[in-house]
Amino acid sequence: MMLYIRMALYALFAGLAGAAIGDFEAATGTYTITVDQLLEIVGPIIGFIATFIASRVAKKRGGAT
For the stretch 3-48, pLDDT in tens is 887 888 777 777 766 667 777 788 998 878 888 777 777 878 888 8
- The 3-state DSSP class for residue 32 equals strand
pLDDT of residue 65: 56
pLDDT of residue 64: 62
> How many degrees, rounded to 5, is the angle at CA 49 between CA 43 and CA 50?
85
Q: Which residue blocks in 1-65 are alpha helix, DSSP H?
A: 2-19, 35-60
pLDDT of 32 reads 84
Spatial CB neighbours of 23, under 8 Å, sequence gap ≥ 6 = 31, 32
